[in-house]
Structure 1
Amino acid sequence: MTSHLGIDIGTSSVKAVLIDSRQNFIAEGSAPLDVSRPQPLWSEQDPESWWSAAQTAVGTVRTAAPREWSALTSIGLSGQQHGATLLDATGKALRPCILWNDGRAGLECSELLESVADFTTRSLNTTMPGFTAPKLLWVAKHEPDIFAKTAKILLPKDYVRFRLSGEYASEMSDSAGTLWLNVAQRRWDATLLAACGLKEAQMPYLVEGSAVSACLSPQVAADWGLAGCNVLIAGGGGDNACSAVGVGAARAGDGFLSLGTSGVIFAVTDRPAALPERTLHAFCHALPDRWHGMVVALSAASALSWIAAITGAGGDTKGLLARVERFASDSRRRAHAPVFLPYLTGERTPHNDPHATAAFGGLTVDHGPEAMVYAVIEGVAFALRDCLDVLVEAGAAPTSCMMVGGGSRSLYWAQLLADATGLTLDLPQGAELGAAFGAARLGMIAAGVPEQEACVKPTIRTTFSPDRTNDALLRERAARVRELYRRKS
């Protein structure tokens, strides 16, 4: 019996999951991460914190399952996308990583589009401050000494790969989010790199997500009690592509809705589906010869955490949501609740507006914490409805859709999302572990397991079908939210 490890480098934590050759969960571990916001619009993390958290998470797995750990055959890596991790010639990080939800590079986005006439044709995507390429233009302009010393640029999970193996490698799904990849041809684009003053030599080499990218270094293997083992490391994928693999979204039409720090709707396609003017992310899948359309709302479960802290609920979001459900069961109170524009960290789809801000509308002295929290989770649902409209316009909407991410633990919120988007949402077993589990699956495939055996769909725990009796109320409230954004713009 062999075992396979998936490591997911998230924004708020690192997760590690160990599975056996039958894909049974053996053990899991996690460690928290902090985000630094030293200036308005900035969002950064120390790359060393990813490595430290990964060591902690893996240590928990090793302790929990020493026998299975000794049979480790492969590692798959998943991670938050777009982070600009700049290394010098010795592999040392030159500055904190600029994260996916950093908004400082708005001006540089315009400069990139102006400098390459066919930018969106090459990349299939428009520029956004959260993507990697404009961040490098910002560094070149504001931190020229650091830019001059930059020998390699890695994405977060690929930095962990470097620490695991000593190799500079990446794969197509994560690299598509840099804006330096020719997505249709699945290769680095010299013209897009040159627009940022970069060369392909500064990029990691590319493999498919289900292919072998490197092997665990002898030093790390010894540190992990695996001396003499030949543990391969799969290419892996961006967090959303790995979540797709984790729920078996491997064929065209398969998709998922994720409620993590951000909210995502992901749909697999057998061809690139582009709509850059509407902020559709047209990326490669972590599996060969497939792509995906992806739309992103920057604040999702993070919005719930924010309002829970504001209202004094702290970490008891389960109890808070139970109170909110009782509040919303009264249709009159629900209809007169405030509305919420959920742009706490700007917004990506469909506005591509890093300066967008959040706001309550219709808030009165009669509204208590439950009304405000209801408005927040409803506002996130409406933001995801706006995202789905973009996929529909591109002809890339999912025909089957699962629900994953930490926010998927709330059954009430899941039903509200089904009602607001019109999607039938299938909640699988283990939904909150999707990305790490998907990474472990990619490791299995790299180790020789056929894709069709590895990427089976999980058992469905619950299905949420849209309740059409709520359509009129939700349409009216969604219109109020959109009008609130128009007035603020």
Structure 2
Amino acid sequence: MYLGIDIGTSAVKLVCAQGDRILATSSVAMETSSPRPGWSEQHPDQWWQATCEAMAQLAAQVMLSDVKAIGLSGQMHGAVLLGRDMRPIRPAILWNDSRATPECDELRAAQPQIGQIAGVLPLPGFTAPKIAWLKRHEPGTYARLAHILLPKDYVGLRLHGELATDTSDAAGTMWLDQASRSWHAGIAEATNVMLDWLPPVFDGHAVFGSVTAQAAAETGLRPGIPVVAGGGDAATGAISLGATEPGRGFISLGTSGQLFVADRRYKPNPDRYVHAFAHTLPDRWYQMAAMLNGARPISWIGGQLGLSAAEVVALAETVSRDRVPIFLPYLTGERSPLGDPHIRACFFGLEDSTTRADICRSVVEAIAFCFADAAQSFGDTIDSLPELSAIGGGSRSDLLLGLIATVIGKPIVRSDDADSGPAYGAARLAACADGALGLSDLGLQPPTTDRFEPTEMAALPDRLDKFRKLYAAVSTLS
């Protein structure tokens, strides 16, 4: 039995798997702090506490002593800042934080070829510009900085006591030379980072530590269990679907959203904010459109209206008329394909007759429209893909998957346990490290249970056009 741990933004999720079967899952929700406009933070110890709580839930379902190896997954880009004692010196600055916008402009000027080297142009959500911000605005904290990790790697540190990351999470920092898969000294220097602050980089199936006695006491795990490097949530989500080879792609509908296409070659396309990153497996890369606002707007509007995410979608399904408002879902700015950290969400077209169901429908449609923009930014890259798989909590919505299939003109397929993607992918990497799976096995695709074909939906193309025009108008005000 193999354990996958996924450090998400809204929850820590655990999966125990054996072969192609998920044996048990658990999840513990977490909160995000926004102490100032545009800021998004979590304290790393919150991740560890949630992991321990989720482990206790798991222990009620399976024997943790049967776990043979552990894989890690997590939200990408977060700056986990540690002192010499390897303890956090401040809350982590997350992927959807926009405070480092000026530092991105400075980084681009200092490294004009950064888009070709790092696979994407500088944006404030990435790790590197956050450190330049830290030196400028929190010099006392910066002076204490000795180590930088990614979120999943901090939980790894608590499990095995080592400093390490994998190629896919390193890819999302902006410090990685994607082609050579090594830290780039020039980009590190331009962001005031010493290379020895950055951890060693491993392939995702490489073992680099084992569960310590202290971690075993806190989690209920057996001491000595091997821990593998794992991957960023996009890459481990890909592993869960077999998206490791050319011609494979998927959409992810978590707090953030991704449109992911696997490849065997490094193909940067920075001008469209399509990310070209190293995969977590050797000799593999991927292209990805990364949206800061995946399924998150559904839970956001649910919170405003006192509804669960399922109730939001159920209300949206009741609406068929064409007087639904247009919603821009950019609650924390947007990355792909806009590269606009300043844009914010808004409704247009509210009327006296607008109902809660109309508002819910406009929010669900807006998520699909973001994927239409993402698909457009790829050009003809996805034309040859026969279909796209779907993972993440938002993939439970038939309405949303049907809308996305229609606006991008590509079938969407769903498998069992699609909402467990990254954690399951991490468990598969652990199984690979233990010899239960080979690298070729990680490219096997799970059987699909549902298929959503593009359909004719009256007024939807016109509403997508209005959505794009509304962004063009509102962006001049942000």
TM-score category, normalised to shorter length: over 0.9
Task: Map residues 334-483 of structure 1 onto 2, 5 A cutoff.
Answer: 335-392=322-379, 398-448=385-435, 449-467=437-455, 469-470=456-457, 473-483=459-469
Letter in 1 for 2:474: K
Q: Any conservation in 2 of the 1:391–1:397 contact (CA below 8 Å)?
A: no
Question: SS state of the match for residue 110, structure 1?
Answer: helix
Higher deviation after alignment, 117-126 or 432-441: 117-126
Q: Could you tell me how far 1:247 is from its partner in structure 2?
A: 1.2
User: How do 1:213-362 and structure 2 match up within 5 A?
Assistant: 213-227=208-222, 230-313=224-307, 315=308, 317-328=309-320, 333=321, 335-362=322-349
Q: Within 2, Cα distance between the matches of 1:478 and 1:175?
A: 35
Provide the alpha-carbon RMSD of the alignment: 1.5
Tell me the SS of whatever aligns to 2:378: helix
Residues 118-144 of structure 1: CA deviation (Å, up to 9, x unaligned): 222221210001000110000010011
The 1-side partners of 2:277 and 2:104 are apart by: 18
Residue of structure 1 equivalent to 2:54:
57
Q: Specify the code of the residue in structure 2 equivalent to 1:284.
A: A
| CA offset digits 1:383-423 (Å, max 9, x no partner) | 11101111225678744310111011111111111111112
Q: Report the Cα distance in structure 1 between the residues aligned to 2:40 and 2:385, rounded to whole angstroms.
A: 31
For 1:9, the aligned partner's letter is I
Question: In the alignment, is the contact (CA less than 8 A) between 1:253 and 1:396 conserved in 2?
Answer: no
**TM-aligned CA deviation for residue 454 of structure 1:** 4.2
Q: Deviations over 1:6-29 (max 9, x none)?
A: 000000000111112x23222211
2:179 is matched with which residue: 179, 184, 192?
A: 184
Change (3 A) 1:87 1:398: farther
- 2:327–2:363 Cα contact (<8 Å) kept: yes
Contact 1:274 1:394 in 2 (8 A): no
Deviation at 1:224, TM superposition (A): 4.3
Per the normalisation by structure 2, the TM-score is 0.96
CA contact (8 A) 2:261 2:382 kept: no
Query: Which residues of 2 match residues 50-89 of structure 1 at below 5 A?
Result: 50-66=47-63, 69-89=64-84
1:39 to 32, 36, 46: 36
1:486 equivalent to 2:478? Answer no
Task: Provide the rounded CA distance (Å) in 2 between the counterparts of 1:58 and 1:116.
Answer: 44
Q: Is residue 37–residue 44 contact of structure 1 (8 Å, CA) maintained in 2?
A: yes
Q: CA deviation at 1:309?
A: 2.3
Single out whichever of 190-199 and 157-166 deviates more from structure 2. Answer: 190-199
Q: Distance in 2 between matches of 1:210 and 1:419?
A: 36
Instruction: For residues 163-189 of structure 1, give each alpha carbon's deviation from its aligned partner in whole angstroms, at most 9, with x where no partner exists.
Output: 111100001101111000001111111
Does the residue aligned with 1:378 lie in a helix, a strand or coil?
helix
Alignment partner, residue 22 of structure 2: 25
The aligned amino acid for 1:233 is V
**Secondary structure, in 3 states, of the residue corresponding to 1:178?**
coil
Within 1, Cα distance between the matches of 2:184 and 2:312? Answer: 48
Paired position in structure 2 for 1:93: 88
Unaligned stretches of 5+ residues in structure 2: none
CA contact (8 A) 1:273 1:396 kept: no
Residue aligned with 1:289, SS: coil
**Structure 2 contact 237–425 (Cα < 8 Å) conserved:** yes
- Paired residue type of 1:94: I
TM-score, normalised via structure 1 length: 0.94
Cα gap change, 1:162 to 1:280, in 2 (>3 Å): same
Q: Alignment partner for residue 6 of structure 2, among 5, 8, 11?
A: 8
Q: What is the CA-CA distance between 1:230 and the residue it aligns to?
A: 3.2
- Taking structure 1 as reference, are residues 124 and 394 closer, same or farther at Cα in structure 2, changes over 3 Å only? farther
CA–CA separation in structure 1 for the residues paired with 2:433 and 2:49 = 26
**Corresponding pairs, count:** 474
For 2:151, the aligned partner's letter is P
Q: Secondary structure at the match of 2:26?
A: strand
CA shift for structure 1 position 258: 1.1
Query: Which consecutive unaligned segments of at least 5 residues does structure 1 have?
Result: none
Cα deviation code 1:34-85 (max 9, x no counterpart)? 100000000000000000001111121123212xx21211100000000001
| Aligned partners of 1:260 and 1:302 also within 8 Å | yes
Is the CA contact (8 Å cut-off) linking 2:147 and 2:198 kept in structure 1? yes
Cα distance between partner residues in 1 of 2:240 and 2:46:
25
Mark the CA change 1:410 to 1:137 in structure 2 (over 3 Å): closer, same or farther.
same
User: Are the equivalent residues in 2 in contact too, given 1:269–1:396 (CA < 8 A)?
Assistant: no
For 1:169 and 1:392, locate their aligned partners in 2 and report how far apart those are by CA, in whole Å.
Answer: 36
Per the TM alignment, residue 223 of structure 1 is displaced from its structure 2 partner at its CA by: 4.5
Between the aligned partners of 2:384 and 2:234, the Cα distance in structure 1 is: 16
Change (3 A) 1:130 1:223: closer
